[in-house]
A and B are shown apart, each in its own frame.
Chain A
Amino acid sequence: MRGYVGSSKEIKGESNKLFRGGGGRGIAIHAKNVSTAYPRSNDVALRNINVDIPLHSISLITGPNGSGKTTFLELVLGFLKPLTGKLYVLGYEMPRNAGKVRLQVSYLPQNFMRDEREAYSVEEVVLMGLAPYYAPFQKPSREELRIVREVTRKLGIEDLLDHPIGILSGGQQQKVMLARALVRKPKLILLDEPFSSIDRDSRGEIIELLNGIRKDYHATILIVTHILSDVTSIADLVIELRNGEVVKKEWIS
């Protein structure tokens, strides 16, 4: 079996040293006194962040525009370096191990919308999620195509597999990107403003899907959002950022 099912690409060593939170629960993201700034910027984007995101949880990062929500995701992905403090993702120190971590993480960016000229089919886009695990000349196996069909069926987009992604609506494109994230069978899913370009009905649908994903895939889900109203129903932890600082951490029972 290949990397997307998390076996042959299993990384030995640090990944087994996952942090233990209260009650022995594993920690997916551990940030201790982390501060960071964007290159070419004189302003600190995040300061003294102390956060533990438990494994298999759904956590929300919220706050106004410019509060550092997306910056935190960029830190987790290893695109930014901590200026101070330590950051561990899935047991790996970042950004030193960004390459290993990225293979176990799925990311849904905020600006994923493609215009009508984008000709890649839905199936091609979903299979792109497996790209880093492919050897040269390797083509998708029957098993992988079956998984693509299974995931897209769960998301209600199986009948769109042959369609170019550019002609789909915002909500449909969102589901395609979610399917791309899921075929990787990730340990950690990072979603940046997943509800920003969809209507209320689709939002409820996506929230239900995320809850199902947590249960079915045992993944840790971290959602950056400024829309809190209905998503809190499935969240375990809400972290509020303001001006680059954590101002509130709330556990939801």
Chain B
Amino acid sequence: MTLIVIETMIGAVLAGSLCGSLGVYLDRMNLLTLGFVIAHAALAGAALSIIFRLNTELLAFVTSLITVSFIELVCAKFNVKRDLIAMSLFALTSSLGMLAIYFAPTTTLTAQTASLILWGSILAMTIGKIILLTLIMIALVIYIMAFKVQINAILFDRKLAEAEGVKVTLHATIFILITTLTVSLILRLTGSFLVFSLIYNSAMAASQISRKKQAIVGGALGALAGVIGVIISFKADTPIGATIALISSIILFTTLALAAIRDIKKRKRIISIQLTVSSNHQK
């Protein structure tokens, strides 16, 4: 295996596991829409970075952060529903990103640069990014271990935790910040359109398997999608972002099907027990 393959593989595992775990926390904190907006605001930032010849990851991070802060500010000041303003900004940032790519001078925008931002590239993962993603992973694990009881209280019932004095807004902000950082760093690996699938699909698939270990399962499924996606992308020469997203979708559909079969079997078992009990009573 070449160094590029190893780097991409490690990067995909880190990206998949981070996105999968973060997706679970965002989902159970009712913040998944914000995760969606972060991913698409990063696209606008990345597209603008082409025009202004600035660092893509930095501008993607700043744009996402400004967008999320704006949403929270508008929600707090004007009592607008978060989902409403979030989805409006998703449309706005996506269209801004597209316009930026469309109007970018041809001297700075090559087809390769545009596709790298939109669909991702196997060449995007560097040692520097791997180190940064590893640090984010370590920070996330330490943070979750440090505030395990508080985070569990929020996941169990956000409003009750807030009523009891847990700093819910602070913890939600920390998760949003970590998500923003992660998305900005992996944007060029998965592509801005598909990064959200790694967050969403893995979290939803994990919810079908285990509620208690959902974050760990979500991370594992995200990492699995990353590894399989990279292998197929190298072997079949397919776009890496789309391949990873496709694998994570297949994993989600598989878990949904398995969960449906499990529920049918369980229901049949319960009904047969009830029927046995009632027939015994009649005797």
Contact = CB atoms under 8 A, between A and B. Distances in A.
- A and B are partners in one complex rather than unrelated chains: yes
Contacts of B166: 131-132
Contact of B157 (A102, A112, A130, A184): A112
A102 B79 contact: no
Contact of B165 (A102, A117, A138): A102
Interface string B51-81: 0000000000000000000000000000100
Given A117-B211, A120-B212, A102 B149 contact: no
A117 B259 CA distance: 12
B interface, by DSSP: helix, strand, loop or mixed? Answer: helix
A106 B211 CA distance: 26
B145 A137 contact: yes
Interface of A: 39-40, 77, 79, 99, 102-103, 105-107, 109, 112, 117-120, 124-125, 127-132, 134, 136-138, 184
A124 B79 CA distance: 34
B152 A120 contact: yes
B161 A119 contact: no
A interface, by DSSP: helix, strand, loop or mixed? Answer: loop
A39 B165 CA distance: 22
B165 A128 contact: no
B163 A107 contact: yes
B150 A137 contact: no
B119 to A, nearest CB: 36
Interface residues of B, number: 22
Contacts of A117: 211
A83 to B, nearest CB: 14
Given A117-B211, A118-B211, A105 B152 contact: no
B161 A40 contact: no
A77 B167 CA distance: 14
Contact of A103 (B149, B156, B160, B165): B165
B140 interface: no
A134 B150 contact: yes
Contact of A99 (B145, B159, B165): B165
B1 interface: no
Contacts of A124: 152
B88 to A, nearest CB: 16
A131 B160 contact: no
Question: Which of A103, A109, A128 has the most CB atoms of chain B within a 10 A radius of its CB?
Answer: A128
A131 B149 contact: yes
Contact of B149 (A39, A79, A112, A134): A134
Contact of B164 (A40, A132, A136): A132
Contacts of B211: 117-119
B163 A102 contact: yes
A194 B26 CA distance: 30
Contacts of A112: 157, 160
B164 A106 contact: yes
Contacts of A109: 157, 159-160, 163
